[in-house]
Amino acid sequence: MDWPEINVETQTLILPVFEELGIEVAMLREDLIDSEISGNKWRKLKYNVLKAEEKAVDTLLTFGGAFSNHIAATAAAGKRFGLKTVGVIRGEDDDTNPTLQKAKADGMELYFVSRTDYRDKNLEEFKAHLRDRFGFYHAVPEGGSNFLGVNGCMETLKPDHEKYNYICGACGTGTMMSGIILSLKPHQKALCFPVLKGDFMHDEINNHLLQFLQDEVAVEDYQDQFEVINTYHGGGYAKVNAELVDFIQWFKAETNITLDAVYTSKLVRGVIEEAKKGKFQRGDKVLIIHSGGVQGNLGMNTRLGLNLPVS
Protein backbone atom coordinates (compact mmCIF):
# COMPACT_ATOMS: atom_id res chain seq x y z
CA MET A 1 0.00 0.00 0.00
CA ASP A 2 1.17 3.51 -0.72
CA TRP A 3 0.41 5.93 2.04
CA PRO A 4 -0.39 9.27 0.40
CA GLU A 5 2.06 12.08 1.13
CA ILE A 6 0.22 15.33 1.62
CA ASN A 7 1.76 18.75 1.99
CA VAL A 8 -0.33 21.30 3.81
CA GLU A 9 0.07 25.04 3.91
CA THR A 10 1.69 27.11 6.60
CA GLN A 11 -0.49 30.14 7.26
CA THR A 12 0.93 33.31 8.75
CA LEU A 13 -1.16 34.60 11.64
CA ILE A 14 -1.63 38.33 11.36
CA LEU A 15 -2.64 39.44 14.83
CA PRO A 16 -1.88 42.80 16.48
CA VAL A 17 -0.38 41.13 19.54
CA PHE A 18 2.27 39.39 17.45
CA GLU A 19 2.97 42.48 15.35
CA GLU A 20 3.52 44.63 18.43
CA LEU A 21 6.00 42.11 19.79
CA GLY A 22 7.81 41.86 16.45
CA ILE A 23 7.47 38.09 16.17
CA GLU A 24 6.42 36.08 13.16
CA VAL A 25 3.85 33.44 14.01
CA ALA A 26 2.44 30.91 11.58
CA MET A 27 0.15 27.92 11.80
CA LEU A 28 0.93 24.59 10.19
CA ARG A 29 -2.45 23.46 8.90
CA GLU A 30 -2.23 19.76 9.70
CA ASP A 31 -5.99 19.96 10.18
CA LEU A 32 -6.27 20.21 6.39
CA ILE A 33 -4.46 16.92 5.68
CA ASP A 34 -7.76 15.12 5.38
CA SER A 35 -11.33 15.93 6.26
CA GLU A 36 -11.83 12.64 8.14
CA ILE A 37 -8.39 11.44 9.23
CA SER A 38 -7.43 14.72 10.70
CA GLY A 39 -4.19 16.27 11.83
CA ASN A 40 -1.81 14.26 13.91
CA LYS A 41 -4.10 11.21 13.82
CA TRP A 42 -3.19 10.85 10.15
CA ARG A 43 0.48 10.80 11.09
CA LYS A 44 0.04 8.48 14.06
CA LEU A 45 -1.98 6.00 12.01
CA LYS A 46 0.38 5.83 9.04
CA TYR A 47 2.90 3.31 10.33
CA ASN A 48 0.23 1.47 12.29
CA VAL A 49 -1.77 0.85 9.12
CA LEU A 50 1.41 -0.17 7.28
CA LYS A 51 2.32 -2.48 10.19
CA ALA A 52 -1.07 -4.19 9.96
CA GLU A 53 -0.42 -4.76 6.29
CA GLU A 54 3.06 -6.10 7.01
CA LYS A 55 1.68 -8.51 9.62
CA ALA A 56 -1.06 -9.46 7.14
CA VAL A 57 -3.84 -8.84 9.66
CA ASP A 58 -7.06 -7.35 8.36
CA THR A 59 -8.15 -5.57 11.54
CA LEU A 60 -7.07 -2.56 13.57
CA LEU A 61 -8.28 -2.59 17.16
CA THR A 62 -8.02 0.50 19.27
CA PHE A 63 -9.34 2.28 22.35
CA GLY A 64 -10.91 5.58 23.14
CA GLY A 65 -13.49 7.72 24.86
CA ALA A 66 -16.83 8.47 23.28
CA PHE A 67 -15.76 11.72 21.58
CA SER A 68 -12.25 10.62 20.66
CA ASN A 69 -10.62 12.11 17.56
CA HIS A 70 -8.51 8.98 17.41
CA ILE A 71 -11.58 6.71 17.23
CA ALA A 72 -13.05 8.86 14.46
CA ALA A 73 -9.77 8.85 12.53
CA THR A 74 -9.15 5.11 12.93
CA ALA A 75 -12.65 4.28 11.67
CA ALA A 76 -12.18 6.54 8.64
CA ALA A 77 -8.69 5.12 7.96
CA GLY A 78 -10.08 1.58 8.06
CA LYS A 79 -12.70 2.48 5.51
CA ARG A 80 -10.15 4.29 3.34
CA PHE A 81 -7.42 1.67 3.38
CA GLY A 82 -9.53 -1.47 3.47
CA LEU A 83 -9.08 -2.65 7.06
CA LYS A 84 -11.71 -3.74 9.52
CA THR A 85 -11.72 -1.64 12.66
CA VAL A 86 -12.79 -2.32 16.22
CA GLY A 87 -13.16 0.47 18.75
CA VAL A 88 -13.12 -0.46 22.42
CA ILE A 89 -15.06 2.43 23.89
CA ARG A 90 -15.23 3.60 27.48
CA GLY A 91 -18.91 4.00 28.38
CA GLU A 92 -22.13 3.36 26.53
CA ASP A 93 -23.53 3.86 23.07
CA ASP A 94 -25.33 7.12 22.48
CA ASP A 95 -27.45 7.86 19.41
CA THR A 96 -26.80 11.58 19.79
CA ASN A 97 -23.01 11.27 19.78
CA PRO A 98 -21.76 12.29 16.32
CA THR A 99 -18.30 10.74 16.78
CA LEU A 100 -19.67 7.28 17.56
CA GLN A 101 -22.35 7.43 14.87
CA LYS A 102 -19.79 8.45 12.25
CA ALA A 103 -17.41 5.69 13.38
CA LYS A 104 -20.20 3.14 12.97
CA ALA A 105 -21.10 4.53 9.57
CA ASP A 106 -17.45 4.07 8.60
CA GLY A 107 -17.79 0.40 9.50
CA MET A 108 -16.12 0.36 12.90
CA GLU A 109 -17.36 -2.28 15.29
CA LEU A 110 -17.85 -0.61 18.64
CA TYR A 111 -17.31 -2.59 21.79
CA PHE A 112 -18.51 -0.75 24.87
CA VAL A 113 -16.86 -1.53 28.17
CA SER A 114 -17.23 -0.29 31.73
CA ARG A 115 -14.83 2.27 33.15
CA THR A 116 -13.19 -0.47 35.21
CA ASP A 117 -12.62 -2.76 32.24
CA TYR A 118 -11.36 0.19 30.26
CA ARG A 119 -8.89 1.10 32.97
CA ASP A 120 -7.70 -2.51 33.03
CA LYS A 121 -7.45 -2.76 29.24
CA ASN A 122 -3.76 -3.64 29.33
CA LEU A 123 -4.16 -6.60 31.65
CA GLU A 124 -3.40 -9.98 30.07
CA GLU A 125 -6.83 -11.28 30.97
CA PHE A 126 -8.64 -8.49 29.14
CA LYS A 127 -6.32 -8.81 26.15
CA ALA A 128 -7.03 -12.54 25.98
CA HIS A 129 -10.73 -11.73 26.04
CA LEU A 130 -10.30 -9.32 23.12
CA ARG A 131 -8.30 -11.91 21.16
CA ASP A 132 -11.06 -14.47 21.71
CA ARG A 133 -13.67 -12.04 20.60
CA PHE A 134 -12.01 -10.30 17.68
CA GLY A 135 -9.35 -12.71 16.42
CA PHE A 136 -6.08 -11.43 15.01
CA TYR A 137 -5.62 -7.71 14.90
CA HIS A 138 -3.02 -5.00 15.12
CA ALA A 139 -3.64 -3.14 18.37
CA VAL A 140 -3.17 0.60 18.45
CA PRO A 141 -3.11 2.14 21.93
CA GLU A 142 -5.45 4.93 22.98
CA GLY A 143 -4.60 8.13 21.13
CA GLY A 144 -2.30 6.24 18.73
CA SER A 145 0.44 6.64 21.30
CA ASN A 146 2.95 3.98 20.34
CA PHE A 147 6.39 3.93 18.78
CA LEU A 148 4.86 3.82 15.30
CA GLY A 149 2.80 6.87 16.18
CA VAL A 150 5.91 8.80 17.20
CA ASN A 151 7.55 7.69 13.98
CA GLY A 152 4.77 9.09 11.85
CA CYS A 153 4.84 12.42 13.71
CA MET A 154 8.55 12.77 12.94
CA GLU A 155 7.38 13.52 9.40
CA THR A 156 5.34 16.57 10.42
CA LEU A 157 8.06 19.19 9.98
CA LYS A 158 9.44 19.77 6.49
CA PRO A 159 12.61 21.55 5.36
CA ASP A 160 10.55 24.74 4.87
CA HIS A 161 9.96 24.85 8.61
CA GLU A 162 13.63 25.11 9.53
CA LYS A 163 13.28 28.89 9.66
CA TYR A 164 11.08 28.67 12.77
CA ASN A 165 12.93 28.63 16.06
CA TYR A 166 9.94 27.67 18.20
CA ILE A 167 7.55 24.84 17.38
CA CYS A 168 4.42 24.81 19.55
CA GLY A 169 1.93 21.98 19.88
CA ALA A 170 -0.78 20.58 22.14
CA CYS A 171 -0.24 17.35 24.10
CA GLY A 172 -2.65 14.61 25.06
CA THR A 173 -0.40 11.58 25.25
CA GLY A 174 2.69 13.52 24.12
CA THR A 175 3.17 11.28 21.09
CA MET A 176 3.02 14.01 18.47
CA MET A 177 5.35 16.36 20.32
CA SER A 178 7.81 13.52 20.93
CA GLY A 179 7.96 12.99 17.17
CA ILE A 180 8.40 16.72 16.69
CA ILE A 181 11.18 16.90 19.29
CA LEU A 182 13.03 14.01 17.64
CA SER A 183 12.92 15.82 14.31
CA LEU A 184 14.09 19.26 15.49
CA LYS A 185 17.17 21.00 14.17
CA PRO A 186 19.64 22.21 16.82
CA HIS A 187 18.45 25.84 16.67
CA GLN A 188 14.83 24.85 17.29
CA LYS A 189 12.91 24.39 20.51
CA ALA A 190 9.56 22.71 21.07
CA LEU A 191 6.99 24.23 23.42
CA CYS A 192 4.54 21.57 24.57
CA PHE A 193 1.12 22.56 25.92
CA PRO A 194 -0.67 19.71 27.73
CA VAL A 195 -4.47 19.82 27.79
CA LEU A 196 -4.65 17.55 30.82
CA LYS A 197 -4.20 18.76 34.34
CA GLY A 198 -1.17 17.42 36.13
CA ASP A 199 2.55 17.31 36.04
CA PHE A 200 3.30 14.13 34.14
CA MET A 201 3.79 15.23 30.53
CA HIS A 202 7.51 15.81 30.77
CA ASP A 203 7.97 12.21 31.95
CA GLU A 204 5.56 10.94 29.32
CA ILE A 205 7.56 12.61 26.59
CA ASN A 206 10.81 11.32 28.02
CA ASN A 207 9.35 7.80 27.94
CA HIS A 208 8.51 8.21 24.26
CA LEU A 209 11.99 9.57 23.57
CA LEU A 210 13.59 6.68 25.44
CA GLN A 211 11.55 4.13 23.51
CA PHE A 212 12.86 5.66 20.35
CA LEU A 213 16.46 6.41 21.35
CA GLN A 214 17.00 3.35 23.58
CA ASP A 215 19.54 5.32 25.57
CA GLU A 216 19.12 7.39 28.75
CA VAL A 217 22.07 9.60 27.91
CA ALA A 218 20.63 10.42 24.51
CA VAL A 219 17.34 11.38 26.18
CA GLU A 220 19.31 13.71 28.50
CA ASP A 221 20.73 15.42 25.43
CA TYR A 222 17.24 16.36 24.28
CA GLN A 223 16.22 18.11 27.51
CA ASP A 224 17.24 21.56 26.31
CA GLN A 225 15.21 21.19 23.14
CA PHE A 226 11.77 21.18 24.69
CA GLU A 227 9.75 22.71 27.43
CA VAL A 228 6.41 21.63 28.85
CA ILE A 229 4.15 24.52 29.80
CA ASN A 230 1.55 23.14 32.14
CA THR A 231 -0.70 26.11 32.82
CA TYR A 232 -3.08 26.25 29.86
CA HIS A 233 -5.24 23.13 30.30
CA GLY A 234 -8.15 25.46 31.12
CA GLY A 235 -9.47 23.39 34.02
CA GLY A 236 -8.68 19.96 32.58
CA TYR A 237 -9.29 17.64 29.67
CA ALA A 238 -12.25 18.68 27.48
CA LYS A 239 -13.28 21.35 29.99
CA VAL A 240 -14.86 24.23 28.10
CA ASN A 241 -16.01 27.56 29.48
CA ALA A 242 -17.59 30.63 27.91
CA GLU A 243 -14.24 32.36 27.64
CA LEU A 244 -12.82 29.51 25.54
CA VAL A 245 -15.88 29.55 23.28
CA ASP A 246 -15.41 33.31 22.81
CA PHE A 247 -11.76 32.76 22.05
CA ILE A 248 -12.53 30.16 19.36
CA GLN A 249 -15.05 32.50 17.78
CA TRP A 250 -12.67 35.45 17.94
CA PHE A 251 -9.85 33.44 16.34
CA LYS A 252 -12.15 32.22 13.58
CA ALA A 253 -13.19 35.81 12.83
CA GLU A 254 -9.58 37.05 12.77
CA THR A 255 -7.92 34.23 10.81
CA ASN A 256 -10.71 32.14 9.30
CA ILE A 257 -9.20 29.11 11.07
CA THR A 258 -11.40 26.81 13.14
CA LEU A 259 -9.80 25.60 16.35
CA ASP A 260 -11.09 22.60 18.30
CA ALA A 261 -12.24 23.04 21.89
CA VAL A 262 -10.10 20.29 23.43
CA TYR A 263 -6.59 20.86 22.08
CA THR A 264 -5.76 23.59 19.62
CA SER A 265 -7.76 26.42 21.19
CA LYS A 266 -5.97 25.88 24.50
CA LEU A 267 -2.67 25.71 22.65
CA VAL A 268 -3.18 28.98 20.77
CA ARG A 269 -4.38 30.70 23.91
CA GLY A 270 -1.25 29.48 25.65
CA VAL A 271 1.02 30.75 22.89
CA ILE A 272 -0.62 34.19 22.94
CA GLU A 273 -0.39 34.42 26.74
CA GLU A 274 3.23 33.29 26.73
CA ALA A 275 4.02 35.84 24.01
CA LYS A 276 2.46 38.60 26.11
CA LYS A 277 4.52 37.46 29.08
CA GLY A 278 7.70 37.94 27.07
CA LYS A 279 8.51 34.35 26.18
CA PHE A 280 9.70 35.30 22.71
CA GLN A 281 12.24 37.84 21.49
CA ARG A 282 11.75 40.33 18.69
CA GLY A 283 12.50 38.54 15.42
CA ASP A 284 11.60 35.09 16.71
CA LYS A 285 9.73 32.84 14.32
CA VAL A 286 7.09 30.68 15.93
CA LEU A 287 5.27 27.79 14.32
CA ILE A 288 2.03 26.55 15.88
CA ILE A 289 0.83 23.11 14.85
CA HIS A 290 -2.88 22.85 14.15
CA SER A 291 -3.17 19.18 15.00
CA GLY A 292 -6.80 18.87 13.85
CA GLY A 293 -9.65 17.64 16.02
CA VAL A 294 -12.36 19.89 14.68
CA GLN A 295 -14.78 16.92 14.44
CA GLY A 296 -14.92 17.08 18.24
CA ASN A 297 -16.65 20.45 18.10
CA LEU A 298 -19.78 18.71 16.77
CA GLY A 299 -20.05 16.62 19.91
CA MET A 300 -19.37 19.65 22.11
CA ASN A 301 -22.19 21.50 20.39
CA THR A 302 -24.74 18.69 20.86
CA ARG A 303 -23.65 17.88 24.40
CA LEU A 304 -23.27 21.39 25.77
CA GLY A 305 -25.59 23.33 23.46
CA LEU A 306 -22.71 25.43 22.13
CA ASN A 307 -22.32 27.10 18.80
CA LEU A 308 -18.72 26.28 17.94
CA PRO A 309 -17.63 26.42 14.31
CA VAL A 310 -17.37 22.88 12.91
CA SER A 311 -15.48 23.41 9.65
Question: Which positions touch ligand PLP (CB under 6 A)?
Answer: 39-41, 69-70, 143, 145, 170-176, 260, 263-264, 291-293
Task: Choose between 78 and 143: whose C-beta lies nearer to ligand PLP.
Answer: 143
We find the least distance from the C-beta atom of residue 289 to ligand PLP, in angstroms, to be 8
Chain residue whose CB lies nearest ligand PLP: 293
Sequence-ordered strand ranges (E) for 56-188: 59-64, 84-90, 109-113, 138-140, 166-171
CB of 202 to ligand PLP, least distance (A): 13
Rg (the chain; Cα; Å):
19
Give whichever of 21 and 230 is closer to ligand PLP, judged by the CB atom: 230
Query: Cα–chain-centroid distance for residue 54?
Result: 25
Q: Nearest distance from residue 67's CB to ligand PLP, in Å?
A: 10
Residue 271 is classified by DSSP as H
CA distance 59 to 52: 7
Residue number with CB closer to ligand PLP (13 or 33): 33
Beta carbon of residue 58, minimum distance to ligand PLP (angstroms, whole number): 25
- Cβ contact 103:71 at 8 Å: yes
Output 21 or 271, the one with its CB closest to ligand PLP: 271
Phi (first) and psi of residue 98, to 5 degrees: -65, -30
Rounded CA separation 88/238 (Å):
20
When the beta carbons of 40 and 85 are compared against ligand PLP, the nearer one is 40
Contacts of 122 (CB under 8 A, 6+ apart): none
- Report the residue number, 21 or 179, with the smaller CB distance to ligand PLP: 179
Stated as kind and residue range, the H or E segment containing 73 is helix 69-81
Strand partners, 89: 64, 112
Which residues have a Cβ under 8 Å from the Cβ of 116 and sit 6 or more positions away?
Answer: none
CB of 293 to ligand PLP, least distance (A): 3
